[in-house]
Structure 1
Amino acid sequence: MKKSRFSEEQIIAVLKEHQAGIAVVDICRKHGISDATFYNWRNRYGGMEVSDARRLKALDDENRKLKKLLAESMLDVATLREALGKNF
């Protein structure tokens, strides 16, 4: 996945500007982003505080690690089943 130019803190600050009453077009022009990017950010980070975004990132990292461990263990189980099936 492509690394964003903006951190979670910066994204939340941009969204707070919109909540303060600044128009989306002006915000997008000021920060050099597209309307689609702004609305994607709003869908993902809308209503969050910085601490919430950090916690979300930590949970995403943990989820990715757990999925990797599960995939590795399933591969090990499949390999063992295949080996046992050939011997008996």
Structure 2
Amino acid sequence: MRTSRFTDSQILTILKEYESGQTAKELSRKYGFHYQTSHNWKNKFGGIFSTKELQKIRELESENNRLKKMFANLSLKYEPLKDVLSKKW
């Protein structure tokens, strides 16, 4: 996956300027990105006002992914055992 040229704090700064009334095209010319990117950022980072909140969200997402992997591994181990135990001997 391609990484962003902008840091999280830069994105939040750009979004604050966007919410203050500047248009997406003005900001895209100023900072050098495609104007539709600001709409994507608004959808992704909307409602986040500080980098601490963003960092906490990212930590929670990584923990959620780790727990999903753990669940998948355990369910893969559980299914064969369930099949064996469900047979009538």
TM-score (norm 2): 0.80
Q: Size of the alignment, in residue pairs? A: 88
Structure of greater relative contact order (alpha carbons < 8 Å, 6+ residues apart): 1
Cα distance in 1 between the residues matched to 2:19 and 2:40: 15
Cα distance in 1 between the residues matched to 2:7 and 2:83: 46
- Taking only aligned residues, the RMSD between alpha carbons, in angstroms, comes to 2.1
Secondary structure of the residue aligned to 1:21 is: coil
Give every structure 1 segment of 4 or more consecutive aligned residues whose post-TM-superposition deviation is greater than 6 Å: none
Contiguous gaps of at least 5 residues in structure 2? none
| Cα-to-partner distance string for 1:22-70 (whole Å, 9 max, x where unaligned) | 2211111222222221101011212312111111111111111111111
Cross-structure match for 2:64: 63
Cross-structure match for 2:74: 73
Cα distance in 2 between the residues matched to 1:46 and 1:85: 49
Secondary structure of the residue aligned to 1:4 is: coil
Cross-structure match for 1:32: 32
Cross-structure match for 1:14: 14
Mapped contact 2:15–2:42 kept (Cα < 8 A):
yes
Percent identical pairs in the alignment equals: 34
